[in-house]
Amino acid sequence: MKFTALLFPVAVLGAACPYGPGSFEPEKETDTRGVCPMLNALANHGFLPRNGRNINENQTVTALNTALNLTPDFGRFLFTAARLSNPKPNSTWFNLDHLDRHNLFEHDGSLSRQDAYFGQWSRFNETVWNWTMDYWTGDILDVQIIANGRAQRSMRSNLTNPDFAISELGNAFSYGENAAILSILGDKVTETCPKIFADYLFRNERLPYAVGWQKSKIPIEMNDLRNTIHSILNATAFPPLPPPDNSFDVFN
């Protein structure tokens, strides 16, 4: 991925197809949005239905492939999670706000959303985001910074939210979303992402073309995300203890 500013092609793209997929229009009051900043952005760009409703597998796979270069297999996998969040059993579609169902995939300790215990939990929250940014020390996010940011949100929820809970699935999603910042929004090879890309995406729910982002030139598979999840898991087990020093016993 090239990290230079690429304002010109964006302007051209926008001018060439003002209403087609790719052009940004902020959500309207009648549109539906939800917890996922990336899916919200894809709807704002028209890669997904702009109203955020009745999204089927084909639309999801095509949007994730066209906008982000996710492989169709990966897209189908993600769609399965999405459609399972539709409260209607055996659904073949979902609305973006179906993803808000607390403690299904949506979980406490998000990077930019407050825990459901404290109130509205599905939309961007400036205070929560600033907590994350405090731990995102450096202009380039790497595995350790992302691990630190994720861990502080869990710790803060654990300390302040009496209802704090996270299921195995929620935990996996939490690692997965954090990994997605590096391997989908950033560069899956180096497992890094310019902080400005994430900040722009989260705040504006808009793909960060204006600050130099381009979709990955190489296709992104589920395995790429898995690798980065493992990197983050390892980096969350903060520096291992030094080997035991048996030359003295501090308790005697």
List of residues contacting ligand HEM (CB under 6 A): 35-39, 60, 64, 68, 78-79, 81-82, 99, 105-107, 110-113, 173, 177, 180-181, 184-185
Question: Nearest distance from residue 111's CB to ligand HEM, in Å?
Answer: 3
Question: Nearest distance from residue 122's CB to ligand HEM, in Å?
Answer: 8
Question: Nearest distance from residue 106's CB to ligand HEM, in Å?
Answer: 4
Nearer CB in complex with ligand HEM: 23/86: 86
Instruction: Report yes or no: 246 and 235 within 8 Å, Cβ to Cβ.
Output: no
Nearer CB in complex with ligand HEM: 110/157: 110
Nearer CB in complex with ligand HEM: 12/80: 80
Question: Nearest distance from residue 176's CB to ligand HEM, in Å?
Answer: 8
Nearer CB in complex with ligand HEM: 19/149: 149
Question: Nearest distance from residue 3's CB to ligand HEM, in Å?
Answer: 16
245: burial class by Cβ within 10 Å (0-12, 13-18, 19+)?
exposed
Question: Nearest distance from residue 240's CB to ligand HEM, in Å?
Answer: 27
Gyration radius (Cα) of the chain, Å? 19
User: SS3 sequence, the chain?
Assistant: CCCCCCHHHHHHHHHHCCCCCCCCCCCCCCCCCCCCHHHHHHHHCCCCCCCCCCEEHHHHHHHHHHHHCECHHHHHHHHHHHHHCCCCCCCCEECHHHHHCECCCECCCCCCCCCHHHCCCCCCCHHHHHHHHHHCCCCEECHHHHHHHHHHHHHHHHHHCCCCCCCHHHHHHHHHHHHHHHHHHCECCCCEEEHHHHHHHHHHCCCHHHHCCCCCCCCECHHHHHHHHHHHHHHHCCCCCCCCCCCCCCCC
Question: Nearest distance from residue 38's CB to ligand HEM, in Å?
Answer: 3
Nearer CB in complex with ligand HEM: 11/130: 130
Nearer CB in complex with ligand HEM: 75/251: 75
Nearer CB in complex with ligand HEM: 112/148: 112
d(CA 127, CA 134): 11
d(CA 49, CA 230): 33
